[in-house]
């Protein structure tokens, strides 16, 4: 399947570029991710637990970074093996462009395929599932970067008094 979209992120291109290659950022943003280790040069290793329809599995996979044009574009190629659940493979091309207001627009174009039990049992839902996963990832990624940016800009953020849950509801 193919998935192409873009995201506007209120953070500088340098910050977005750095974040997408930061194992810790990836770990917190990839849904179900338990562990990410490695570097851009050696590639990353990740452990992700996901449930697709009736199939729940722990995927252990490698991600390679290639076609790097510093600050502009790169390709992430990954494959994860989920034991008896099968496998997932994906290649994503990412492009980073400045927006007029100092933010970054991140374009992604991803091809993914699954095999084994995942394909047999989950094929009906795999397209929607992949889209949901991508949305969740970028949602978190964006939140994290923008929070980070807010935090950098306004130091008092952290000092805001914590509200009770009624307070949160009322904003």
Partner 1 sequence: MAADGGMGHATKRREDVRFLTGRGKYTDDYTPAKTSYCAFARSTVANGKINSIDTTAAAEMPGVVAVFKGEDFAEVGGNPAGWAIVSRDGTPMQEPKRPVLAHGKVRHVGDAYAAVIAETLEQAMDAVEAIDADIDELDAVIDMAGALANDNTLVHDEIGTNMCFDWGWIEDNRAATEEAIKNAPHVTTLKLVNNRLVPNALEPRCSIGEYDPGTGDYRLTTTSQNPHLTRLLISAFVLGIAENKLTVHSPDMGGGFGSKIYHYGEEALVLAAAKKLNRPVKWTSTRTEAFLSDAHGRDHVTKIELACEKDGTFIAFRTETMANVGAYLSNFSTVTPTFLHGTLMAGNYTVPNVYVNVKTVFTNTAPVDAYRGAGRPEATFSLERVIDKAARELGINPVEIRRKNFVKPDQFPYASAAGLEYDSGNYDALMDGLEMRADLAGFEARCTTSAKNGKLRGLGINSYIEACGIAPSNLVGVLGSRIGLYDAATVRVNATGNISVMVGAHSHGQGHETAFPQVVADMLGIDPMSVEIVHGDTSKIPFGMGTYGSRSLAVCGSAVFRATEKIIKKATLIAAHMVEAKPEDVNFTDGEFAVKGTNKKVSFGDVALKAYIPHDFPIEAIEPGLEETAFYDPANFTYPAGAYACEVEVDPDTGKVEICSMVAMDDFGNVVNPLIVTGQVQGGLAQGIGQALLEHGVYDENGQLLSGSLMDYAMPRADDLPNLVVDHSNATACTHNPIGVKGCGEAGAIGSPPTVVNAVIDALQRGGHDVEHIDMPVSPGRVWAAMNG
* Number of residues located near partner 1, criterion CB under 8 A: 15
**What is the full DSSP assignment across the chain?**
-EEEEEEEESS-HHHHHHHHT-HHHHHHHSTTEEEEEEETTTEEEEEEEEEETTEEEEEEEEEEEEEEETTTEEEEEEEEE-GGG-EEEEEEEEEEEE-TTS-EEEEEEEEEEEETHHHHHHHHHHHHHHHHHHHHHHHHHHHHHHHHHHHHH-GGGGGSPPP-HHHHHH-
- Which residue's CB is nearer to partner 1, number 60 or number 144? 60
- Looking at residues 10 to 49 of the shown chain, list those that interact with partner 1 (rule: CB under 8 A): none
Q: How far is the CB of 119 from partner 1 (least distance, A)?
A: 4
Q: Which of 84, 128, 161, 171 binds partner 1 (CB under 8 A)?
A: 84
- Which residue's CB is nearer to partner 1, number 54 or number 161? 54
- Which residue's CB is nearer to partner 1, number 23 or number 116? 116
Burial (CB count within 10 angstroms: exposed 0-12, middle 13-18, buried 19+), residue 119: middle
**61 binds partner 1 per the rule CB under 8 A:** no
Task: Give 52's strand partners.
Answer: 55
Q: How far is the CB of 121 from partner 1 (least distance, A)?
A: 5
Q: How far is the CB of 91 from partner 1 (least distance, A)?
A: 14
For the window 88-127, what string marks contact with partner 1 as x by the rule CB under 8 A?
-------------------------xxxxx-xxx-xx---
Structure tokens at 163: 């509200």
End-to-end Cα, the chain, rounded Å: 40
Q: How far is the CB of 72 from partner 1 (least distance, A)?
A: 31
Q: How far is the CB of 165 from partner 1 (least distance, A)?
A: 40
Interface ranges with partner 1 (CB under 8 A): 54, 83-84, 86-87, 113-117, 119-121, 123-124
């Amino acid at each position: 399947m193919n998935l192409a979209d873009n995201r506007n992120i209120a953070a500088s291109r340098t910050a977005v570029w750095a974040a997408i290659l930061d194992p810790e950022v990836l770990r917190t943003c990839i849904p179900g991710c338990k562990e990410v280790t490695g570097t851009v040069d050696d590639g990353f290793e990740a452990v992700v637990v996901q449930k697709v329809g009736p199939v729940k599995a722990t995927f252990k996979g490698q991600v390679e970074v290639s076609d790097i044009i510093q600050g502009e574009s790169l390709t992430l190629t990954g494959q994860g093996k989920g034991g008896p659940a099968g496998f997932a493979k994906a290649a994503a091309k990412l492009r980073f462009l400045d927006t007029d207001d100092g933010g970054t627009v991140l374009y992604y174009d991803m091809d993914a395929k699954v095999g084994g039990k995942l394909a047999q049992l989950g094929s009906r839902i795999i397209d929607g599932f992949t889209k949901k996963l991508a949305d969740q990832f970028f949602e978190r990624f964006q939140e994290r970067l923008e929070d980070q940016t807010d935090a950098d800009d306004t130091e008092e953020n952290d000092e805001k008094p914590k509200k009770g849950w009624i307070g949160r509801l009322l904003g």
